[in-house]
Structure 1
Amino acid sequence: MRVKVMGIPVEDQEKALQFYTGKLGFVKKYDVPLSETSRWLTVVAKDEQEGTEVLLEPSPNHFEPAKVYQKALFEAGIPYTQFNVDNVQAEYDRLINLGVEFSMKPTEMGTVKIAVLNDTCGNHIQLIEML
């Protein structure tokens, strides 16, 4: 068993696509219209294009409990998910220069270094480097 697709709820799929590709550096994998307001929209890591897909899911717009859950996580400052990086400080510096907002600067915590960013689509995302 392995993970092929993981979903992240986003408030606006087009805005999410621009952020995840233009700022975070993912590349678009699939973009399939499902209705006038929804798409099956996935992105993947540029260097692992056959790896796990991140589904930019419009669920908050179609399912009120998802919207409530996403908002509660965001307001509590809890990351929705995490992405591994080779160097948190380097990613932080690169993303700050692109205007990305962070709620936590790079911080060592035992055997990891983490930082938390705002994806502009209703989520905090944690970046993690294994030390």
Structure 2
Amino acid sequence: MRIHLTPIYVDDQKKAQAFYTDVLGFRLKHEIPLGPALWLTVVSPENPDGTELLLEPSQGHPAVKPYREALFNDGIPLASFAVDDVQAEFDRLTAHGVRFTQDPLAMGNVTTAVFDDTCGNLIQLVHAA
């Protein structure tokens, strides 16, 4: 059994697509019109046939807004992305104007940082040595 797809709810799919591809560096996998929304997925360029991240519109899902707001207000990341070097990604993303809510923090053999994805979510970067 493998994780094939995981959703992340976003306020605006096109804005999310631009952020996740142009800023974070993910690659577009699927962009399929489904009425007013898209089946919009991105993948890691390091694993283009791996797990897809579905940029799911948050509108029309009553439970999503209070859930995301509670996580965001409590500083809890909705997702965690593995990186080889948290400090290097922090520096790269900061140079692109990304706002971090937690600077790189080493905790034993794990380093994390948390940023705002501009689409209503906090995302954690993590590296375990």
Query: Which TM-score bucket, shorter chain as reference?
Result: over 0.9
Give the number of aligned pairs.
129
Q: Distance in 2 between matches of 1:40 and 1:111?
A: 37
Tell me the CA shift for residue 66 of structure 1. Answer: 1.1
In the alignment, which residue of structure 1 is the partner of 2:105? 107
Q: Indicate the SS of the match to 1:100.
A: coil
After TM superposition, the score normalised by the length of structure 2 is: 0.98
Tell me the CA shift for residue 111 of structure 1. Answer: 1.9
Q: Which runs of 5+ in 2 are unaligned?
A: none
In the alignment, which residue of structure 2 is the partner of 1:24? 24
Q: Distance in 2 between matches of 1:39 and 1:71?
A: 23
Tell me the CA shift for residue 109 of structure 1. Answer: 1.1
Structure 1 consecutive aligned stretches of length 4 or more whose deviation exceeds 3 Å = none
Residue identity matched to 1:15: K
Residue identity matched to 2:47: E
In the alignment, which residue of structure 2 is the partner of 1:82? 80
Q: Distance in 2 between matches of 1:35 and 1:71?
A: 26
Tell me the CA shift for residue 50 of structure 1. Answer: 0.4
Q: Indicate the SS of the match to 2:101.
A: strand
Q: Distance in 1 between matches of 2:81 and 2:55?
A: 15
Q: Quick check: 1:47 aligned with 2:55?
A: no
Q: Distance in 2 between matches of 1:4 and 1:109?
A: 30
Q: Distance in 2 between matches of 1:125 and 1:118?
A: 6
Root-mean-square deviation (CA, aligned residues, Å) is: 0.7
Q: Distance in 1 between matches of 2:69 and 2:40?
A: 21
Residue identity matched to 1:88: V
Deviation string, structure 1 residues 63-84 (Cα, Å, up to 9, x no partner): 1111110111111110001000
Aligned residues: percent identity?
50
Q: Which runs of 5+ in 1 are unaligned?
A: none
